[in-house]
Amino acid sequence: MEPQEDDRTDGTNNYISGGVFLHTVIQGRDITVHLPPQVPLALSGLPEVSQAFTGRDDHLDQLLKGLVPGGTEEQKPVLVTAVSGLAGIGKTELVAQTAHRALKEPGWFPGGILFVDMAGYDPERSVSPEKALDGWLRALGMPGEHIPEGLQDRQRLYRSVLAAFAKQGRRILVIIDNAASTEQAGPLLPTDGTTATLVTSRQALTLRNARHHDLDVLDEDASAALLERELRCARDGDTRLADAPNATATIIRLCAGLPLALCIAAALLAEFPTRPAADLVEDLEVEHRRLGGLALDDRAVRASFGLSYRLLDADRARLFRLLPLNLGPDLSTEAAAHLADLGLYETKQLLLALARAHLIGPAAGWGRWRMHDLVRLFADELGHTHDGPHLRQSARTRLFTHYETTTAAADTHLGLRPQPRSSRFEDRKAALQWLDAEYANLIPTATTALALGHPTTAVSLGSSLANYLNHHRRFHDLITVTTTVLTIVCVFGDRHREAMALNNLGVALREVRRFGKAIDTLTKAADIYRETGDRHREAMALTSLGLALQEVRRFGEAIDAHTKAVDIYRQFGDRHGEGGTLGNLGLALQEVRRFGEAIDAHTKAADLYRQLGDRHSEGKTLGNLGFALEEVRRFGEAIDFLTKAVAIYREFGDRHAEATALNNLGRALREMRRFGEAIDAHTKAVAIYREFGDRHSEAGVLTNLGVALQEVRRSGEAIDTLTKAVAIYRETGDRHAEATALNNLGGVLQLVSRFGEAIDTLTKAVAIYREFGDRHSEAMVLNNLGRALQEVRRFGEAINTLTKAADIYRETGDRHREATVLNSLGLALREASRFGEAVAALNQAVEIYRLLTTGDESGPNPELANSLLLLAWSGLEAGQGCVLPGTLPAAEEAADLFDRLAAEDPASFTVQLQASLELLAMVLELLHRTWEAEQVRRRLTGTAPPRE
């Protein structure tokens, strides 16, 4: 059959070669299409785009890059892109924005755009592929009488037309919106290798050669921008959202990043210009009213979700309705299987189907699933409507039982004491991983179970989670769940569980620095254990009580509690409990400066843990031992023990304990003048404490870091760091620690000659230490304050202050610091021209340093050398031109010591060596020993060898 001229209408012709017409069905091998000059763009049907579009720039750029003819350097052209996501997520708007921008690009789509809304989720409006092809062929200029009836024939004709357009350089963009299935969208895909297609669907469609583009909710900033723009588009200059930031933030939170919900919220405000944002919040805050409140005219969140739900089969719909019974933000496939009372494989297939429909989505880690907040409300509504109370309660019981038994099994791997370990988990690491994944489900379950009629679940979870919450330092959660447990067990009169809960609660209260309440709670726990004859657990409560007493500086009572606990543990042969309590006892002994006993306690504890093979507890004890050794200036040993402690904590992944050991290690390194390593250790510790949000411990490290920074003359950083520490201590209410930070800050301010600020800062620290009766720390600050007063030539105040400091150190038996203060006092007396008193003070300092260095084979003592130098100068000044007895020996010994020190460390001691040689020469000249003085001066100029 040959085509005739009069067969052509509207400029389009179908030429069928080698085939026959069979009624209205076309069969043939080849189709030749004669095209009209241009497809009218009015027939494209592209929806109008929103002027408020925002928050999708990255998605828009990605889609546009895929549409570039011939592709880009970074990306080949994408012929089919399937945009999928939850109902109301903004798929159509994104594709429409993309199409509008693509149309404006010269040469991208000169043939125009074909758009169809398949209405795939609305059974009354759903468009079949045949109907869509009929409309498109007509839009392309095909006469109705030439459009075949069958799907395959329409598909062939449609694809031939698109291929012809592409061949003539008139490429078309095809948009298939709102397709419910691959079967609905697939027949509409071009096959010419040039025409581009964008498809939107709530389903993850399995279209051949398609690139998938998933759309998620908007973040908080983009949500705020969309809400604001939608309102401004409707009412220019409307400031209600900006004027009510709290209400606006609540609206954003309740809409949960869903563009449809945000647009409806904006429209509800725009409807009435006097309606406050807070009024809309009132309507939306109540969960059972929220979905109903997010509706206006033909737009409604509930109706949008309902269209997706109607396509689910019975099993998928049942699981969908049960999922909101889980109280956390996501759940595992295993938990869903218990909820649905199905096997793992069957449950997994149902969850995958719901995810393809974008009614749920994958959470962090494969095998976990999450629900949008508004979808959760919708599913819960359906559950209440379609499932009876008994069915829902049974499902919840199965889920809660799963959480109870698995948490208890995980807890068997967390205790440090030897005990049977559940085979449910391979090891401690696996148990922690499960608890980490389920944490956000377990806490709301433990705290809400009682209100839902499951008191045993609340008690079981609250007890089993204690070790885990302690491990991760989630003490506020521990307080919450343990308080719930206490409420229940007190009603049932279970004294044993009451004492256990009180002990857990007391530990948590101590960690959040509610010390008074912690002491009361732990005292009650110990009393109940004693009354019920549970002596073993009484020891556990006593050692926790001792730690709380230490925090309020009631060290005598703390030592008594720890000592009693050690005795009880020994009676029961509990070596593990004994080791832990010995470590706590050692810390309390350190606070009252009984360092020998403290070191002995820590050493015994370390030996016990080593024998028990408990590496983690051994690491803790080694850290405590290193800390105690610092106090007696055995810094080398301290560094060795603390380095081992850090390594052990890292081995066990105990980050918080690692930070504590790093902080103490930094202090020891600083004392050994290894300042770079000290700063590195403190910096790492700060970072770890910040990970945990442990502000109080962070302040402690900042205090030590500030001191280390000053040692390397990074004064500005030191002042900033110490100022932060002071602020955190004030914020957390730790006055004693605040005084420590103030003392260090005052010392740094003094070193940068900000003496007025230093004096004010140090005076505050002295007052705080006096409040606490902490004489030793008071003396430490008095020393710094006296030196600051000396710098501003307030010598009388300086001398009185330093004398008090020396007296206190003498009382407390700290001979080393007494000698340090006596040096400062000697300098102040010299400045006040009280040379005889200066000589007396410095002679005392020298004698103390000699006593402290007796038997020390570590080399010359720089502190002794410095005291001797000051003593010789003071003796020279006191003699007023005469050399008093003792001046020459002091000058000679000082020169000799600095000579040896400079040989080992020239950078640190060359200046002091020169000063000591100059002084020695002066003394020798006054004694008329001119030749010897000349020899000393030749050493100063480098023309004589050093003395042997």
What are 527-560's pLDDT values in tens digits? 999 999 999 999 999 999 999 998 887 889 999 9
In terms of pTM, does the model score above 0.85?
no
Q: Which residue has the tokens 């209405």?
A: 119
pLDDT grade for 186, boundaries at 50, 70 and 90? very high
| Residues 339 and 398 sit within 8 Å (Cβ to Cβ) | yes
Across 106-131, average pLDDT: 91
Q: Quick one: pLDDT at residue 31?
A: 53
Rounded CA-CA distance 272/268 in Å is: 7
pLDDT grade for 25, boundaries at 50, 70 and 90? very low
pLDDT grade for 418, boundaries at 50, 70 and 90? low
pLDDT at 850 over 60: yes
Q: Which residue has the tokens 């201590």?
A: 729
Q: Which residue has the tokens 């000290």?
A: 678
Q: Which structure tokens are listed for 321?
A: 């309705």
Are β-strands 361-362 and 368-370 bridged in parallel, bridged antiparallel, or unpaired? antiparallel
Q: Which structure tokens are listed for 52?
A: 């408020």
Across 574-585, average pLDDT: 89
pLDDT grade for 36, boundaries at 50, 70 and 90? low
pLDDT at 757 over 90: yes
Q: Quick one: pLDDT at residue 734?
A: 84
Across 443-453, average pLDDT: 94
CA contacts within 13 A on the Cβ side of 167: 12
pLDDT at 22 over 60: no
For 16, the enclosing helix (H) or strand (E) is strand 13-17
Across 199-203, average pLDDT: 95
Q: Which residue has the higher pLDDT, 818 or 16?
A: 818
Q: How is residue 359 annotated by DSSP?
A: S
User: With b meaning 16 or more CB within 10 Å and e meaning fewer, what string describes 597-608?
Assistant: bbbbbbbbbbeb
Give the C-alpha distances (Å, rounded to integers) separating 279 from 255, 276, 379, 381: 15, 5, 26, 24
User: What is the per-residue pLDDT across 482-513, written as a single tens digit (0 to 9) for each?
Assistant: 999 999 999 888 898 999 999 999 999 988 87
pLDDT at 351 over 90: yes
pLDDT at 384 over 80: yes
Across 148-170, average pLDDT: 93
Q: Quick one: pLDDT at residue 858?
A: 60
| Single-letter residue type at 39 | V
SS3 213: strand
Q: Quick one: pLDDT at residue 3?
A: 36
pLDDT at 40 over 50: no
Q: Which CATH architecture has domain 575-661?
A: Alpha Horseshoe (1.25)
User: What is the per-residue pLDDT across 233-265, written as a single tens digit (0 to 9) for each?
Assistant: 999 989 999 999 999 999 999 999 999 999 999
DSSP letters spanning 765-798: HHHHHHHHT-HHHHHHHHHHHHHHHHHTT-HHHH
| Residues 670 and 708 sit within 8 Å (Cβ to Cβ) | yes
pLDDT at 43 over 50: no
Q: Quick one: pLDDT at residue 37?
A: 52
Topology (CATH) of 41-214: Rossmann fold (3.40.50)
Among the residue ranges 203-207, 335-339, 341-345, the one predicted with the least confidence is: 203-207
Q: Quick one: pLDDT at residue 877?
A: 82
In 18-130, which ranges are E strands? 20-22, 25-27, 30-34, 80-84, 112-117
Rounded CA-CA distance 93/229 in Å is: 15
Q: Which CATH architecture has domain 312-387?
A: Orthogonal Bundle (1.10)
| Residues 205 and 185 sit within 8 Å (Cβ to Cβ) | yes
Instruction: Supply angle C-alpha 331, 406, 365, rounded to 5.
Output: 35
How many residues would you count in the chain? 948
User: With b meaning 16 or more CB within 10 Å and e meaning fewer, what string describes 702-728?
Assistant: bbbbbbbbbeeebbeebbebbbbbbeb
Q: How is residue 49 annotated by DSSP?
A: P
User: What is the per-residue pLDDT across 666-694, written as a single tens digit (0 to 9) for each?
Assistant: 988 988 889 999 999 999 999 999 988 88
Rounded CA-CA distance 530/539 in Å is: 9
Q: Quick one: pLDDT at residue 764?
A: 95
pLDDT at 52 over 70: yes
Q: Furthest-apart CA pair in the chain: how many Å?
A: 139
Mean pLDDT of all residues belonging to the chain: 88
User: What is the per-residue pLDDT across 607-660, written as a single tens digit (0 to 9) for each?
Assistant: 888 888 878 888 888 888 888 888 888 888 888 889 988 988 888 888 888 998
pLDDT grade for 771, boundaries at 50, 70 and 90? confident
